[in-house]
Chains A and B, each alone.
Chain A
């Protein structure tokens, strides 16, 4: 496991046995939490569902009278809130299987369709399988820079990256569309992916996007009659806010200063302990209050999420101190900071890696195993 950050020297000092012991302690923590899932957790997610629904209904109603500026602002804010909750705390987590144990057909990971132009089926493949299995492994984890960004030193430089400080923001604004096209894997067409397969995926995206566009940009505005444009603008803005928020939170999960990247060879004979270690070293957390964590879909606990992707998200906050203590016990880094610090470091890296590598790098490589 080749880790490219000075802060990871401690990894070198761990023996293979210690790494496995670390993994067993995490297994025990997972078993402990999963064994106590029940009424309290069910009540939590149903409450979130209720809040989201109320926010959406109130937001849509206010946007009908959107010609009044306060109504437009409040309506747009509530609709943004609803979309953020739906995508992050509900959709993303439901599709991970966090709520399958409730046996509720409306919260089933296999059938849930989220409020995004990205078809859930394609998301489940690119995210649950590819990203969560091959987290931060160069050339395998397609979320590492989303193919178009150079966010780490190891990626070979190309002149096109000179423009990434600009097109990064275009991606941010159009984030849901970028996510929708992600699983088509344009770079692999004709190689690992057939043209027909890609076409079928594109057709599925068009079908999904049509329904999303119809609802937000035609039907709801039409219901507002003469105030069509106010509703349209409100819906557009809500989608935009959701895009920016999701982009910011998600970029802070794996592109911050100090996260490690790995090579394909590191996966050879990877043990459970090493898998946990890779998830830990490749993820970074955000600090904040309860409401902040909920609005990030608990991706602010990216480390806990990557260790236990199918654990109901609100439990991450509860176990975070214990995960952190465990890391301290083994002398492992636990990458955590405020949103502004972490996001600042992401933007810094996007600018730094836009430029070709300097001959003398301040960073050093360490070997974990």
Chain B
């Protein structure tokens, strides 16, 4: 869409003509990628990386204003008519022509993308988020520690550094189950040509080497003796992140930046802990019959109406958690949806946007 057309469509007058619908509601009929409000992207192609990972190459519309290597986006896809959103790191650098998101199959959304998404499909992405980026000026020595799909933001950073002809020393310490699971191996070997200081240290934890392949102070001492002089970047599964963070407390790196993309494991024992994220209040889920009552007892004042599940006034966003429908007794895991607080109780740990 040309610039003048976009500015015209985004004008006060056109918005007023469309009200209370949005300009996008009408643009949808013409060209699904056009939008004045959203970043929409077309899947240009999908490239299989490993048996259970694939890269999506995305062509965004003009609302995309670039990102910094290491940042992530929230990607929204439609599965069976229902929208689902998840956060993924971009594995492309800002210098690449297309956006790339590399995804390993593990949940509903990633399984859909790896197995069923098609080139040409439309997706919606958020503006880039996160402060997991390379500092300016670039440090002379870098240490990247990643596990599994945690390598994806590292790929973005390495591509960025390659484009800048970075001459410093980079140690990439990567953990994966076995070589077949490693994402972007060929790409890493290719990157090494443009980055003379890049060294790869791959550790495979399920190759019969036992604990020696896992992260430990002793292992780090052997593989990266000068770790303390390096600015470290960390992204991977919760266990690895925890181990590296603990190490950093005892023997600090020059700096440590982290990107967590797996939410901490949730308890599912009867009633759990409820975190009201916006207000920073934590309460025990067992102490009230519904999440609405719990919020009120915790001193919060969410909107409500009927208190019996009819009117939907008390709906709030649940970030993630196990909930029980008090009408039917059904327990389920809810994620990123609007939940009627008056007819749901905590059935495990819950995080609410309230």
Say whether A and B bind each other.
yes
The docked-state distance in angstroms from the alpha carbon of A133 to that of B311 is 7
* Least Cβ–Cβ distance between B193 and chain A, in angstroms: 44
Give the interface residue-count category, chain A. 35 or more
Q: How many residues of B contact A (CB 8 A)?
A: 29
Question: Using an 8 Å CB-CB cutoff, how does the interface string of B21-53 with A read, 1 for contact, 0 for none?
Answer: 110011001000000000000000000000000
Question: Using an 8 Å CB-CB cutoff, how does the interface string of A115-134 with B read, 1 for contact, 0 for none?
Answer: 10000000011001100110
Cβ 8 A contact of B338, one of A42, A49, A100, A115: A100
Q: Is A178 an interface residue (CB 8 A)?
A: no
Q: Is B13 an interface residue (CB 8 A)?
A: yes
Contact B26 A53 (CB under 8 A): yes
Contact A125 B81 (CB under 8 A): no
Q: Is B336 an interface residue (CB 8 A)?
A: yes
Contact B80 A132 (CB under 8 A): no
The docked-state distance in angstroms from the alpha carbon of A96 to that of B311 is 7
From A12-20, A212-220, A225-233, A256-264, the one touching the partner chain is A212-220
Contact A219 B84 (CB under 8 A): no
Contact B312 A101 (CB under 8 A): no
Cβ 8 A contact of B81, one of A39, A57, A97, A114: A39
The docked-state distance in angstroms from the alpha carbon of A55 to that of B17 is 15
Residues of B within 8 A of A361 (CB): none
Residues of B within 8 A of A2 (CB): none
CB-based nearest A residue for B13: A219
Q: Is A310 an interface residue (CB 8 A)?
A: yes
Residues of A within 8 A of B85 (CB): 103
CB-based nearest B residue for A35: B330
From A104-112, A241-249, A338-346, the one touching the partner chain is A104-112
Q: Is A31 an interface residue (CB 8 A)?
A: yes
Cβ 8 A contact of A103, one of B17, B83, B306, B327: B83
Residues of B within 8 A of A27 (CB): 327-328
Q: Is B313 an interface residue (CB 8 A)?
A: yes
Q: Is B315 an interface residue (CB 8 A)?
A: yes
Q: Which A residues, 199 to 220, have Cβ-Cβ distances below 8 Å to chain B? A: 211-212, 214-215, 219-220
Contact of A102 with B338 at beta-carbon distance under 8 Å, contacts A27-B328, A57-B26 already known = no
Q: Is B82 an interface residue (CB 8 A)?
A: yes
Q: Which residue, A129, A211, A214, A310, has most C-beta atoms of chain B within 10 A?
A: A129
Contact of A102 with B83 at beta-carbon distance under 8 Å, contacts A53-B26, A133-B308, A211-B16 already known = yes
Residues of B within 8 A of A266 (CB): none
Cβ 8 A contact of B80, one of A39, A114, A310: A39
Q: Is A360 an interface residue (CB 8 A)?
A: no
Residues of B within 8 A of A100 (CB): 312, 315, 337-338
* Least Cβ–Cβ distance between A78 and chain B, in angstroms: 15
Residues of A within 8 A of B21 (CB): 115
CB-based nearest A residue for B330: A31
* Least Cβ–Cβ distance between A114 and chain B, in angstroms: 6
Residues of B within 8 A of A356 (CB): none
Q: Which A residues, 315 to 363, have Cβ-Cβ distances below 8 Å to chain B? A: none
19 interchain pairs, CB-CB under 8 A = A46-B81, A53-B29, A97-B315, A97-B338, A100-B337, A101-B337, A102-B82, A102-B83, A103-B82, A106-B22, A110-B338, A124-B312, A128-B305, A128-B310, A129-B305, A211-B19, A219-B13, A220-B17, A309-B310
- Which residues of A are in contact with B by a Cβ distance under 8 Å? 27, 31, 38-39, 41-43, 46, 49-50, 53-54, 57, 96-97, 100-104, 106, 108-110, 113-115, 124-125, 128-129, 132-133, 211-212, 214-215, 219-220, 223, 275, 309-310
